[in-house]
Amino acid sequence: MSLEKRTLENGLTVYNDKITGARTNNVLMYVPYGSVDEKPGDEGVAHVFEHCVHLETDEFKDRVALKQYADTNGMVTNASTNFTRTDYYANGLELEPSMVHLSQILQHTHFPEEAVEHELKAVRREMKTRLDSPNEAHFLSAMNAMYGLPYGRSIGGYNDRIDFGVDTLRELHSRYYKLGRMSLIVAGKASLDEVAEMANRYFTADTDPTFVDHPELPRTLGEHHLTGMVREDSSNALVSVAHPMTPEFIERKNANLIAYGMAQRAMSQAAFQSLRYEHGISYNGDISIDSVHPNAVLLGGDVTTDGENVGQAVEIFDNIFSRPGSSYSDEVLEGNIAAYKYSYNANYNSNPTRLGRIEAALEESREPTDISQLLRKVGKISVAEVRTAIDEMTEYASNNPRYIHVTGKRSAIGDVERIVEQHEIA
């Protein structure tokens, strides 16, 4: 097996996926602290923190020096904040510079007041830019209608309240950025022993290794099943038909991810065929399983169409969610299985793909699986198993609440039970 796991003396958990023939390493520090973990009043602080750790460290006087170090050592660095995690990347030719970079920003960062205040301006500008995205507004407002807060709001917080001082950032760092909470993921040419030696050398055990547990978040469903968000400047109507998943169904899906993935692909192709080629009401459209948190996972259909076609789009998705597995021919399902096999094999030696699979498992509280084991499972999947997965999804959709959410002009939204306002999500 190429995927190995080890907990180091300093408390850090390492996942290493050594790829034969790789010439680089993709390196990620996974920190399980995201926007859903923020306290009321601190919305957006996780994202601001992610920006500010790059401003100054013990070894690098400013962002320019940190960037020059990355360039000199053939490294591409970045970071991103999500609902449940913050990721810090340091992909490069050699392992040691990646360890230097990550240890500096995560254990030896400074928060110079003037630089932090300047960075806050950039973050506010970023969030204003994202407010103009109809797709993001639609997704967040749909999650808000179905699940409420903290799931249905922008990761970056509320634009008019993004104002955090250095004391707040330091407190977040001391409470949540503990090595015992983090996971270092490496995919590429390095061996586990090499990664462990470097990580032990550059990451120092916390003087106080205790950390604050995440608060228990409620799983609640919105009382309104027909909702919308008004965007009068939009020439499109974005439509979602969704079925929130129960913890029990999520567990069933996670136990058979490959069959469910193939079933989802077959259902998505059927939706696309109907929306685009049979009815001509959209350029695209699909069926997906979306998640922002274990409490907020949904099976849904999404499409962009004209306002007058909203009702027809909903009917098409309802039809897909009621079609039994027996209505899909052997030829269609065999084609989906073959395409799925191709995707797995085509990305077999891809650093980003291998790293991404580990990251996705951690986010879903699953133990990562070695790629060779996944390939064996993909190779053994039968048409009957995919049909069963389709039947399980359609049976679930038929027996559980359905939510419809439309973003667009008021005339496209029609008569709904609730309008989600912009200030509720960002």
The CATH number given to whatever domain includes residue 329 is: 3.30.830.10
Considering the domain architecture, whether residues 375 and 269 belong to the same structural domain is answered as yes
Flag whether pLDDT at 358 surpasses 90.
Answer: yes
Residues β-bridged to residue 230 = 408
| Listed residue (319, 299, 302) closest to 310, CA to CA | 302
How far, in Å, CA of 35 to CA of 46, rounded?
6
Q: Six-digit token pair at 34?
A: 């995201």
Q: Are residues 186 and 241 in the same domain?
A: no
Q: Quick one: 103 and 196 in the same domain?
A: yes
Does 62 reside within a domain?
Answer: yes
How many residues are there in the chain?
426
Residue 278 confidence (pLDDT)? 97
Assess contact for 32 and 364: CB atoms under 8 A.
no
Q: Let me know if residue 421 belongs to a domain.
A: no
Given a cut of 90, whether residue 64 has pLDDT beyond it is yes
Rounded to whole angstroms, the maximal C-alpha distance in the chain is: 64
State the average pLDDT over residues 266-282.
97
Closest to 353 measured CA to CA, from 78, 5, 22, 10: 22
Pair 188, 280 in one domain: no
Mean of pLDDT values over 83-111: 98
Q: What percent of the chain clears pLDDT 70, i.e. is strictly above it? A: 100
Residue % of the chain over a pLDDT of 90:
89
Give a yes or no: residue 276 inside a domain. Answer: yes
Read off the pLDDT band of 209 (50, 70, 90): confident
pLDDT above 80: residue 165: yes
- What pLDDT score does 16 carry? 98
Q: What is the average pLDDT across 170-182?
A: 94
- Give pLDDT, residue 210: 75
- Residue 51, pLDDT > 80, answer yes
In this prediction the pTM is 0.94
Per-residue model confidence (pLDDT) at position 217: 85
What pLDDT is attached to residue 206? 87
Average pLDDT over residues 3-13: 96
Residue 262 confidence (pLDDT) above 90: yes
How far is 196 from 206, CA to CA, in rounded Å? 17
State which H helix or E strand residue 23 sits in. Answer: none
- Give residue 333's pLDDT: 96
Residue burial 298-320, b: 16+ Cβ < 10 Å; e: rest: bbbbbbbbebebbebbbebbbeb
Q: Where are the beta strands (DSSP E) in 261-295?
A: 286-293
**Mean pLDDT (the chain, rounded):** 95
Mean pLDDT of 122-133: 90
Confidence of residue 1 (pLDDT cuts 50, 70, 90): low
147: domain range? 3-202
- Token digits for 269? 């192709």
H or E stretch at 242: strand 237-244
Amino acid sitting at position 193 = D
CB atoms within 10 A of CB 359: 19
Instruction: Specify whether 191 is located in the same domain as 241.
Output: no
**How many domains does the chain fold into?**
2
Cα 118 to its chain centre, rounded Å, is 28
Question: 239 and 195 share a domain?
Answer: no
419 inside domain: no
The helix (H) or strand (E) run that includes residue 40 is: none
- Report the pLDDT value the prediction gives residue 344, as an integer from 0 to 100: 85
Higher per-residue pLDDT: 54 or 349: 54
